[in-house]
């Protein structure tokens, strides 16, 4: 058919790839959870690190993917982000296989696909690409499809912005955890997030769900905090986790020490709260999987 291969290249270049279509691939047991809120500093990274550690400590195989150029999750899990061979930037902008990027963390059962600051420019680099919203999903589904690496949970830490890289995090996820700070709860901010979630569902045919809204940095001594928590529960009802993460300085110290709260201060309020969140997450995921 293609007599002159020198001109046309290999015949394979003209075949439709019969092997892979991310939408047709039915994931088996991997649950993908993105942690998202465009509000900065509301506890996304703290939640991602400690929930990942909780699940890994329970014996689940966990992959944490950092898609925030600040790379706080990668740093908090002990990686030297200035000296990485590859990062999630290569997956998003260069079509690199996720497998090349994943490194083990210091926590048993927990791997990480790290971010680097170059990721800031990724949204411009991919702005003209076909299917730019689905690059991460395709990479993850390809990896899981090969059965080369099996994970029970994949947790994705998003940046405080609803840019195209964060949209990749939404499109990829089965469900979302939305941390909200009880001091600075903003209904307007939540409306913007939920309208983006609905657009992702409509236009990018995803089955995205909100696993739960997570009140964070709660200080019961402050009247304003209690009032905000009440409003969050009134407004979002059973979408809100029963667990509210209390203010606890050990959580900040643990990140700086590059340890999970369970290792750094296992008896702290932070460790208690993230254990209780972990149990709720396991229950809610089970419920979604059986619906
Ligand atoms: N429950 C808590 N008690 C005390 N400090 C906390 C708590 N949760 C988070 N922090 C601290 O608050 C700061 C912001 O938290 P974190 O980095 O988790 O937020 P983020 O949403 O990931 O921020 P960004 O939007 O910049 O990515 C950090 O210094 C963290 O250590
Ligand atoms: Mg963060």
Q: What residue ranges do the domains of the chain occupy?
A: 24-290
Mean pLDDT by runs of 10 across the 291 residues of the chain is 51 63 66 96 97 98 97 96 93 93 96 94 89 94 79 97 95 96 84 93 87 96 93 94 98 97 98 98 86 49
pLDDT of 149 reads 78
Using CB distances shorter than 6 Å, the residues near ligand 1 are: 40-46, 68, 70, 72, 160, 216-217, 245, 247-249, 251-252, 255
pLDDT of 28 reads 64
State the distance from the centre of ligand 2 to the C-alpha of 71, rounded, in angstroms.
Answer: 8
* Surface-to-core class of residue 191, CB atoms within 10 Å of its CB (0-12 exposed, 13-18 middle, 19+ buried): exposed
pLDDT of 146 reads 75
Q: Which residue is closest in CA terms to ligand 1's atom 13?
A: 41
Q: In this structure, are residues 217 and 245 in contact, taking their beta carbons and an 8 Å threshold?
A: yes
Superfamily name with CATH number, domain 24-290 = P-loop containing nucleotide triphosphate hydrolases (3.40.50.300)
Per-residue exposure over 69-88, b if at least 16 CB sit within 10 Å of its own CB, e if not? bbbbbbbbbebebeebebbb
Q: In this structure, are residues 145 and 112 in contact, taking their beta carbons and an 8 Å threshold?
A: no
Structure-block tokens of residue 241: 């986790």
Q: Which residue is closest in CA terms to ligand 1's atom 3?
A: 247
User: pTM of the predicted model, to two decimals?
Assistant: 0.92
pLDDT of 2 reads 43
């Amino acid at each position: 058919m293609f007599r002159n291969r020198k001109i046309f290249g290999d015949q394979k270049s003209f075949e439709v790839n019969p092997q892979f279509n991310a939408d047709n691939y039915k994931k088996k047991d991997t649950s993908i959870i993105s942690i998202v809120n465009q509000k900065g500093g509301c506890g996304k990274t703290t939640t991602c690190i400690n929930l990942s550690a909780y699940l890994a400590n329970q014996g689940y195989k966990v992959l944490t993917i950092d898609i925030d150029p600040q790379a706080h999750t990668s740093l908090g899990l002990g990686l030297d982000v200035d000296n990485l061979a590859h990062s999630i930037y290569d997956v998003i902008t260069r079509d690199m296989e996720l497998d090349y990027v994943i490194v083990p963390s210091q926590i048993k059962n927990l791997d990480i696909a790290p971010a680097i600051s170059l990721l800031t420019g990724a949204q411009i680099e991919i702005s003209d690409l076909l299917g730019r919203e689905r690059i991460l999903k395709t990479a993850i589904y390809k990896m899981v499809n090969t059965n080369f690496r099996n994970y029970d949970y994949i947790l994705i830490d998003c940046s405080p912005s609803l840019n195209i890289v964060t949209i990749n995090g939404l499109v990829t996820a089965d469900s979302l955890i939305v941390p909200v700070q009880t001091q600075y709860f903003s209904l307007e901010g939540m409306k913007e997030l939920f309208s983006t979630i609905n657009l992702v569902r409509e236009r990018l045919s995803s089955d995205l769900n909100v696993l739960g809204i997570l009140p964070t940095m709660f200080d019961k001594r402050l009247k304003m905090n209690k009032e905000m928590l009440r409003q969050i529960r009134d407004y979002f009802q059973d979408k809100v986790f029963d667990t509210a993460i209390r203010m606890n300085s050990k959580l900040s110290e643990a990140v700086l020490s590059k340890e999970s709260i369970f290792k750094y201060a296992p008896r702290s309020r932070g460790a208690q709260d993230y254990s209780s969140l972990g149990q709720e997450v396991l229950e809610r995921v089970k419920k979604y999987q059986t619906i």
